[in-house]
Amino acid sequence: MKWTWVLVTVLLSFGVLSLGKESLDFPEYDGKDRVHDLNAKNYKSMMKKYDVMVVYYHDHPGSSRVAQRQFDIEELTLELAAQVLDEFDDEDIGVGLIDAKHDKVVAKKLGLDESDSIYIFTDDEVIEYDGELAADTLVEFIFDVLEDPVEIIDNSRELKGFENIEEDIKLVGYFKSHKSEHFEAFADAAEEFHPHIKFFATFSSKVAKALEMKLNEVDFYEPFIDDPVVIPGKPYSEEELVDFIEDNDRPTMRKLQPHNMYEIWDDDVNGEHIIAFAEESDPDGFEFLEILKEVAEDNTNNPDLSIVWIDPDDFPLLLPHWEKVFGIDLSSPQIGVVDADDADSVWMDMDNGEDLPTVDELEDWIEDALSGEVDPDHDDDDDDDDDDDDDDDDDDDDDDDDDDDDDDDDDDDDDDDDDDDDDDDDDDDDDDDDDDDDDDDDDDDDDDDDDDDDDDDDDDDDDDDY
């Protein structure tokens, strides 16, 4: 799992807010180093020292300044979490780092196979944390880990609390007592999925009657689905319960939350997700969410349908990123198909939330999405075709321009030839005129010379007479 999403919560946690009440001050990092660097020499002693050990198996930051700064932020997040957990009296909780480059041997011995992941070691269980790397979210998850895997429902008030849980998978079993072997099998199965799936049990006949349950029965509730599925074959062994849950742990509709965001994103259907954005506190968002729930209720038996609901209020820092990547406006409800790897997407046209689809319209669109008629890859192909058409048009325009240019050049050449001919004729005429003028001048000069010669001869004759 990669910590590629914005890590800002920790930075906000480092300053003490002036709220006027000391009891409302957020924890401020006190500068004490509590996070241990685990290596081959110390990891065994550190694992024995604490009841619960939180291990961040991280990539080596290397020489990259950006990677080092990113790792510094992650380490500060863990330091703040360790400081808060240090004040927890019931359990000794330690936090450690394992470098994927320098401490491969340690990671292998602990069974860590995915870097940039957080693992929680408690008793004989290893639980992977697939949520946001933020101090508050991580601490809340660890507190959930420390809770009992099975919560007991004893009265109507606790039953009401159970019924109000609708965003998570939950199971409830009715057993004779804590000592029942069937309850023990149920509790053992709960440890396999704790804290990701919630397990409840009751020993009260009144509570069982309200839930319409028979003795040793276990009911499985999908998120946002009112009616449970009765697990067949009671009484059950631990293996039978585990197998049923593993076969049904992808709900028809589920909510992306900070503590499970990577777990859900990795659990795609054929490389794609049907994503629905709806703000529950907004009237349009609430209405659209109710439509989604009805669609999920109608299609709960479809194994290929899994709608991921995202409430924008839960991820305010990601809104600009999602709007840019998906090209949508999250101020109104949206539903689309998203490629889990490259985030290519195609979205249902809902007129900016002004005209929400009916249940039937949404089911038709989802059916098209499941059949492949609505597909992000097809949308990309259409874009490529449009680009090809544009290129063809450009080529045609270029050809037309070239033809026009050739015609213009021919016309220009003809005009130039005509001009040259005219110029040549004019030059010839001018030359002829010049030649005639020269001949006339020569004749005149010859006559003048002859006259002069005659005059000279006469003068000579006169001289002879004197």
Summarize pLDDT for 305-323 with one digit per residue, the tens.
999 999 999 999 999 999 9
pLDDT reading at 216 higher than 80 = yes
One DSSP character per residue, 393-461 reads HHHHHHHHHHHHHHHHHHHHHHHHHHHHHHHHHHHHHHHHHHHHHHHHHHHHHHHHHHHHHHHHHHHHH
Summarize pLDDT for 389-416 with one digit per residue, the tens.
554 554 444 444 444 444 444 444 444 4
Structure-token pair, residue 132: 């946001």
What's the rounded Cα separation, in Å, for the pair 13 and 8?
A: 9
Please give the average per-residue pLDDT across 27-40, as a whole number: 95
pLDDT reading at 248 higher than 90 = yes
Domains and CATH numbers, the chain: 1-146 (3.40.30.10), 149-249 (3.40.30.10), 253-374 (3.40.30.10)
What's this model's pTM, rounded to 2 decimal places?
A: 0.76
Length of the chain as a residue count: 466
Where residue 437 falls (left for φ over 0; alpha for ψ -120 to 50; beta otherwise) is alpha
Question: If we measure between CA atoms, which residue out of 118, 34, 47 comes closest to residue 84?
Answer: 34
The set of residues, in sequence order, having a beta carbon less than 8 Å from that of 58 and lying 6+ positions away, is 71, 74, 97, 98, 99, 100, 115, 116
Please give the average per-residue pLDDT across 10-33, as a whole number: 65
Summarize pLDDT for 103-116 with one digit per residue, the tens.
999 999 999 999 99
The band of 299, judged by pLDDT with boundaries at 50, 70 and 90, is very high
Please give the average per-residue pLDDT across 16-38, as a whole number: 77
Which residue would you say has higher pLDDT here, 354 or 441? 354
Structure-token pair, residue 203: 């020993």
What are the beta bridge partners of residue 219?
172, 230
Residue 65's pLDDT is what? 96
What are the beta bridge partners of residue 126?
121
Which residue would you say has higher pLDDT here, 205 or 403? 205
Which residue is it, tokens 């604490």? 50
- Supply the mean pLDDT for the chain: 83
Question: If we measure between CA atoms, which residue out of 32, 29, 34 comes closest to residue 46?
Answer: 34
Which residue is it, tokens 């809770």? 147
Residue 22's pLDDT is what? 62
Residue 9's pLDDT is what? 46
pLDDT reading at 290 higher than 60 = yes
Query: Above pLDDT 90, what percent of the chain?
Result: 69
Could you tell me whether strands 345-347 and 334-339 are parallel, antiparallel, or unpaired per DSSP bridges? Answer: antiparallel
Structure-token pair, residue 108: 């292998």
The set of residues, in sequence order, having a beta carbon less than 8 Å from that of 127 and lying 6+ positions away, is 119, 120, 145, 194, 195
What's the rounded Cα separation, in Å, for the pair 450 and 453?
A: 5
Query: Above pLDDT 70, what percent of the chain?
Result: 75
Give the count of beta carbons closer than 10 Å to the beta carbon of residue 376.
Answer: 18
